[in-house]
Amino acid sequence: MYARLSVLIFFHFFLWGSWFVTAGTYLISNLEFSGSQIGLIYSTTAISAILSPLAMGVLADRYFSVEKILTILYITGGGLLWWMSYITSFPLFFIAILIYMLVFLPSFSLANSLCFHHVQDARFDFPKIRVWGTIAWIIAGIIVGTLRLEDQPITMRIAGSISFLLAIYCLTLPSTPPTHQSGGTIWEFLKGKEITDLFKDRSFVILISSVAVICIPTAYYYSFVNPFLNEMGVVNAAGKMSIGQVTEIVLMLLLPWIFRIFRLKYIIFTGLFLWGFRYLFFVIGIEYHLEWWYLTGLLVHGAAYIFATLTSQIYLDTRVPRHLRSTAQGFYSFLTFGIGAFVGSIIAGGTVSAFNMGPNQHDWQTIWMIPSVIGIITAFVFLLLFKNKSKT
């Protein structure tokens, strides 16, 4: 069972990693879109996260099997990716990627909820499955970087083909039917006592608020680190970005042990802090013209992601009733990929445009200081206000 779930996670993240992170380079160098336009394009992930994952989660919890919804999402997304690879104008590209994100983004929370449904203990079993997504991300980055495909539309066609294959594979996954069959409208379901009780827990509210805010510096990474590295003359930038996933693999495998030793508060604080602090390594690298400082900033990506993002997802799964898992993961996507990422993409795009110094030239030192300050402040606010004293 775990092997079948691992295959799903592997190819899901290979699909995502083969084009999304390097798309900024393609949009800047090939299509010559501006920083603000790229910020708007990346904001489609946020717009989609606001609109679709929560609704899809409710559908999975109440009406349809998760694997059937995933099949429809993947086959539709594959066709959209192929269409996008032939578009060259900003307005049409924006519309196409918005539709794609509305279709694809819910698959993140649904794939997680499917895994949570079939594992015995999410804290100790899920990391063993999720690590294959990180391995896939590394392989995708190495392939794209080595073959110098970062500025080519073929990456979207590769991702589209994988999406078609995933649609077929989902039909072979174990059945994950709806677990909540009571009547009422979706709105009545969402405002039910089980959901509202979560928001009476101050620590829960502080946690999800902090993770949402940290998506602002996260948006800078996913939108502009690859163009930054290429602008700095880093060879095989996409491949070198995968070193962050190496630490991600190590820490993901160590996560069950970390849960036993450290309190949740300090695990998540470390992740939030590193999301901001990592950009200071880029600033130092620019100042002294040393590439290894850039690589150090990339290396801590794994710790930032595992301790802040993945730990929060696992914690959320343990805090909600079993029949609300898909809805809860959809709600998490709504706050992080949605509200947080939308604000982050707009701020990141506006920042890069504001400090544009000419064709393929930016004041990156000033640009990176902004997400650094936001991340560090968010981490310490969380540390002061989050009161959960128990270990995970």
Q: Are 130 and 9 in contact (CB under 8 A)?
A: yes
Checking DSSP bridges between strand 361-362 and strand 356-358, what pairing results, if any?
antiparallel
Tokens standing for residue 284: 């130092």
Tens place of pLDDT per residue across the chain (392 aa): 678 889 999 999 999 888 877 787 788 878 888 877 887 887 787 777 777 655 665 565 566 778 888 999 999 999 999 999 999 999 999 999 999 988 888 888 788 778 877 877 766 788 788 889 888 988 888 888 788 887 888 999 999 999 999 999 998 887 777 655 444 444 555 566 666 776 777 777 888 889 889 988 988 988 788 889 988 988 888 778 878 878 888 888 888 888 888 888 899 999 999 999 999 999 999 998 889 999 999 999 889 989 998 888 877 777 777 666 666 666 777 777 778 878 888 888 889 888 988 777 889 999 999 999 999 999 999 999 987 654 44
CB-CB contact of 40 with 95 (8 Å): no
CA distance 27 to 87: 11
Burial (CB count within 10 angstroms: exposed 0-12, middle 13-18, buried 19+), residue 137: buried
CB atoms within 10 A of CB 381: 15
The answer to whether 304 and 276 are in contact (CB under 8 A) is no
Domains of the chain as residue ranges with CATH:
2-176+185-385 (1.20.1250.20)
Would you call 391 helix, strand, or coil by DSSP?
strand
Name the H helices within 262-324: 264-288, 291-299, 301-304, 311-319
Say if CB 367 and CB 280 are below 8 A apart.
Answer: no
Tokens of 86: 């032939």
- Region at 29 (left for phi over 0; alpha for psi -120 to 50; beta for the rest): alpha
Q: Is 236 left (phi over 0), alpha (psi -120 to 50) or beta?
A: left
Residue 295, pLDDT score: 93
Of 353, 256, 355, give the one whose Cα is nearest residue 306: 256
- The conformational region for residue 148 under phi > 0 = left, psi -120 to 50 = alpha, else beta, is left
Dihedral pair phi/psi, residue 362, rounded to 5°:
-140, 155
CA angle 141, 102, 78 (to 5 degrees): 55
Structure tokens at 342: 């939308």
* Torsion sign, CA atoms 123, 4, 102, 181: negative
